Chains A and B, each alone.
Chain A
């Protein structure tokens, strides 16, 4: 069973709201969260992570974790700088954070280890997206640059020393202002990347060719993107409160269509998410209203109010969770297996010592309660044995038969021999006896 949940957070301290998308019921409200845009992510099905704005002024950033069944913050970590963009791979084994300095950090969730840190952009990272197979990372920055990174190559220290290649696979510098959002479609190695910017354009890039395919101009700055996976169109949330529609294969330089707008037109659309299950588009606005649209009919289906309408919503994510039995049980079984909370994210890269342990922690499958299976053997066993018996009738027995025949012959000869010996002996004894008797 799967459950589709919408989670949302704000830059004000309104916590994280969660709703069941099917029924519209509000679920748990996670406390104490004021995250930057792109600062909220679900880590696999395990927990929620959000970067915090609070300490942004201080020397370090902060990232909090929540479990799905508990409103309190469970784990607090304090990376070296404030994390402006946060995401996790689909399995929830790595968390990637982009810092205000333009550095990107990769943490291993199971150990909290900072595996890698590199200087990705000159200024603050605004958004991070994994490619469909989690092997590439696309990052956008405040200065309008977009970079594509191959994670495997980032970890390849040897090759980097030998080859004077740039770290990134592609760089896209055509945006003139901050990149606000990035989406990547299902094209695999030929995927299209769409980036939205403050400069009122969305640009479509080819991953395989590493170049700009087209640029689409919108009437306002674009804050958020969502992709309609099957329709080769994307939705763009504008600063003017409208949701526009762009075509990936657009011939036009201008966006021509729009889906709708939030009730209060002065409030900008700040985030969008698409739920393929039921084809729903979810928008969040500065006014704190989360609206679920049916993009086919262009009608809003339902809406949630978040933070009593005070705070702007700046993150929305659709999370699909597997339900084993009931949600609590799944959670507890995960917790039981994991034995404890995930460790906090470490501040610094450990040098040298990972050659000693080099351990990767693999979680058991969540559905570990499925009954184990063992098959019956008797019927096959009988057939095997019978076959064996039949086979012995042919080759093995024949060899055995020959051997026995040979032995039989030998025995007969031996028998004759003994017989003769006996007779000879008997004769000797008889003769002795007779001779003795005569004596």
Chain B
């Protein structure tokens, strides 16, 4: 008895045929047995894919082969069954088999399977659910077939057989589910075997277009149809002309629809001009979309909703054509696309003043109800246009910027604003810095409005009157004061949040805030340094507050998001938190002339966030802390193996050495020599630097005790500060704790030690300690400095900002 057989474990190969047979007898119906329940099918499929039951192992050839044989036989019997439910089960399982079975089996029998599946599609007697299932299974069969490289021709001929019957189904039947199945199948064919459409291209186009134009299609199916139509130019030869022709047809069709829809809302010339541009009078105009019968004059003309859903579908199709990848070169009619977008966005439902009112109130109402959908599609088209040509947008970029700016001003609906933010993001990413220069102010002012929880009242984030913030030159000297005042300001405003009543205007949904945050983050990434002195401080503060609020859940109390809490999942809030933190991190790290003003707040926030339960947030906070580590400990690491001097000055082996040395003998006095020395220190590998020092020991040591020159010891990170006080790299201070035992050592001694160690030629391991010692050395200078002056060192102040705030 089979049941006495034992198996090694769950991976034992001998298990496979057993399980498969079991599935076959328990869950899969046969001719006599009726189908017990459909739910078990899911179980069958998941078991098959988990255990790879159909893979047929070579080791157990006979057993597993016979089991799979049985399985396939049963399925074929079911497929040709008269009962629709049994036939359905056979067909869908056949689809799974096409995906899972071994290559040999598939290759030897796909033709048989294909024909038995296709017969259902062709057979008008078959029930609808059987036909839908057949389409799906054929799609999978073709997908598998496309992975065999050696049967291209046969595969194409098989695929070609599918097209006409399927198109017939599409025309005759009236079930959405069936349409969807056929469109899926056609999409598979056009992606995998574009050559299969050789003779049927026009027919397919016509069938699809007429479905898009039919009044009975649901919006999700419309999208699918439009997507397929966008893929269709791949078929045939997939050349440039068929792409251009399709695009031209689409644009004409869209504009014709709009001419009707915008009657009375825009001047007639606009529509005429658009059509003229697309089909210049001298040239032959292409056939309308969907061929001669592309019915544009049907009853649907009177329904605003229908026109808009059609136009949206056509625009979606154009969008897909722009963003999908084609093998051919594409001539993208940018000017026509942009003018179309401009045309749509220009109509906002108001009646032009210089025109006679053609429209009744009811008509206007109907149009206005549909306009947002139309605008949304137009914005999608604009984004796709930008994405498709990226840097080649250049000649048109200025007009796009104008368009975006003007639309930002009149756009109030959150959905549309979200799209607009996405477009600005795309613009920034594709055009970079030059675009940031153009769009920065627009993004900042709009995002400030959308992110601000209480826009109308004064003393808000944007128009901060804090004098020290406005003072650009305010660097280190007043940093203490500034920090303090900022902190208290934040506290005050946070307090206001908690008790504040949400204003109506602030009811921007969380998704809009998210989009605004992302746009700001992109702006900071591409052009953060540009804002120094203008918008940067505003943005930094805004982002700090947004992040703080998001993390403390204050938005929830401040009104609008509260409404979302019960029905929307917390995922939204997590997303928002991540976006807020991401933008805040960008504002801290993005280059700027000043030190990041809210570094302390940021560090604390990320530190707290790191221990949060939400793993995404915690992970991001950890990443943020790592990024900020470079900010708090600026690195001036020596370059490993950087080319360096073989001697003090290049006079020995430089052919023009005398020129160099002459220069130096004239110019070099002790301080500047020292200066060079330091510079070398910072950029050279240590051994080389030490070698240099050997020659200059005395001069160096002299200068060390000379406080006037200590300001030369600085890293690039602080050198730009306007205040000529002494600066010490942060890293120096960091090493303070580690090397305290050296503190009692005189600077000279340290240097000697360094030099002697180098002479001994210690390996890499020594380097670190050398560096630390050198750093200590410098630090000592600066410490001595700041002790002498009664004014505390400014860096120390920054470093300990929170403490000093409390003290003061």
Contacts and interface: CB of A to CB of B under 8 A. Distances in A.
Contacts of A385: 38, 92, 129, 133
Contacts of B107: none
A361 B527 CA distance: 29
A257 B650 contact: yes
B664 interface: yes
Interface stretch (A172-180, A237-245, A284-292, A425-433): A237-245
Contacts of A190: 528-529, 591
A362 B329 contact: yes
Nearest to B181: A381
A379 B140 CA distance: 10
A360 interface: yes
A233 B38 contact: no
Given A257-B650, A365-B325, A359 B333 contact: yes
Nearest to A91: B391
B237 to A, nearest CB: 12
A60 interface: no
Given A261-B655, A386-B39, A155 B679 contact: no
Contact of A240 (B42, B327, B641, B659): B659
Interface in A239-291: 240-242, 245, 247-254, 256-259, 261, 265
A152 B401 contact: yes
Nearest to B524: A189
B39 A390 contact: yes
A360 B334 contact: yes
Interface in A363-386: 363-365, 368, 372-379, 381-383, 385-386
Given A247-B679, A256-B676, A374 B327 contact: no
Given A135-B431, A152-B438, A339-B329, A242 B655 contact: yes
Contacts of A265: 655-656
Contact of A364 (B327, B395, B525, B679): B327
Contacts, number: 279
B315 interface: no
Given A265-B656, A378-B98, A256 B326 contact: no
B530 A189 contact: yes
Q: Which of A91, A131, A296, A338 has the most chain B CB atoms inside 10 A of its CB?
A: A296
B642 A296 contact: yes
A338 B529 CA distance: 40
A131 B643 contact: no
B92 A189 contact: no
Contacts of A217: 663
Interface in B316-367: 325-336, 338
State the main secondary structure of chain B at its contact with A.
Answer: helix
Contacts of A254: 663-664, 667, 676
A363 B332 contact: no
Nearest to B188: A374
Contacts of B530: 189, 208
Interface residues of B, number: 102
A257 B644 contact: yes
Nearest to B681: A251
Contact of A152 (B144, B434, B659, B663): B434
Contacts of A151: 394, 434
A434 interface: no
A292 B575 CA distance: 50
A339 to B, nearest CB: 7
B434 A136 contact: yes
B643 A245 contact: yes
Q: Which of A231, A241, A257, A389 has the most chain B CB atoms inside 10 A of its CB?
A: A257
B99 A379 contact: yes
Interface in B644-667: 644-645, 649-650, 654-656, 659-660, 663-664, 667
Nearest to B88: A385
A358 B38 contact: no
A381 B136 contact: yes
Interface in B24-65: 38-39, 41-42, 45, 49
Given A358-B333, A376-B99, A153 B280 contact: no
Contact of B526 (A188, A261, A375): A188
A222 B725 CA distance: 35
Q: Which of A251, A259, A368, A389 has the most chain B CB atoms inside 10 A of its CB?
A: A251
Interface in B673-723: 675-676, 678-680, 682-683, 712, 714-716, 719-720
A211 to B, nearest CB: 10
A265 B639 CA distance: 28
Interface in B72-107: 92, 95-96, 98-99
Contacts of B719: 249, 251
Interface stretch (A61-69, A156-164, A300-308, A406-414): A156-164
A382 B42 contact: yes
B593 interface: yes
B191 interface: yes
B277 A153 contact: no
Interface string B561-573: 0000000000000
Contacts of A390: 39
Contacts of B436: 189
A188 B433 contact: yes
Nearest to A372: B191
B146 A374 contact: yes
A252 B649 CA distance: 14
A381 to B, nearest CB: 5
Interface string B114-144: 0000000000000001000100110110011
Interface string A175-214: 0000000000001111000000000000000011100010
A231 to B, nearest CB: 5
Contacts of A241: 655-656
A357 B143 CA distance: 40
A356 B643 contact: no
B332 A360 contact: yes
B433 A131 contact: yes
Nearest to A220: B656
Given A252-B676, A361-B329, A378-B136, A355 B335 contact: yes
B630 interface: no
A219 B649 CA distance: 12
A119 interface: no
A157 B676 CA distance: 49
B184 interface: yes
A135 B434 contact: yes
B277 A356 contact: yes
Interface string A319-363: 000000000000000000111000000000000001111111111
Interface string B417-433: 00000000000000111
Contact of A250 (B187, B328, B679): B679
Nearest to A362: B330
A181 B255 CA distance: 51
A296 B526 contact: no
B470 to A, nearest CB: 19
B434 A150 contact: yes
Contacts of B435: 135, 152
Given A187-B591, A241-B655, A169 B388 contact: no
A205 to B, nearest CB: 13
27 contacts: A133-B432, A135-B435, A150-B434, A152-B394, A156-B397, A156-B438, A158-B402, A188-B591, A189-B527, A189-B591, A219-B656, A233-B639, A240-B655, A247-B679, A249-B682, A254-B663, A296-B641, A298-B643, A337-B329, A356-B277, A364-B328, A365-B325, A377-B95, A377-B139, A378-B96, A379-B95, A389-B38
Given A134-B432, A356-B335, A374-B187, 5 more contacts: A220-B659, A233-B639, A251-B675, A337-B328, A374-B139
Interface of A: 89, 91, 93-94, 108, 115-116, 131-136, 150-153, 155-159, 169, 187-190, 207-209, 213, 217, 219-220, 231-233, 238, 240-242, 245, 247-254, 256-259, 261, 265, 295-298, 337-339, 354-365, 368, 372-379, 381-383, 385-386, 389-390
Shortest 3 CB-CB distances between A and B: which pairs? Answer: A358-B335, A133-B432, A378-B95
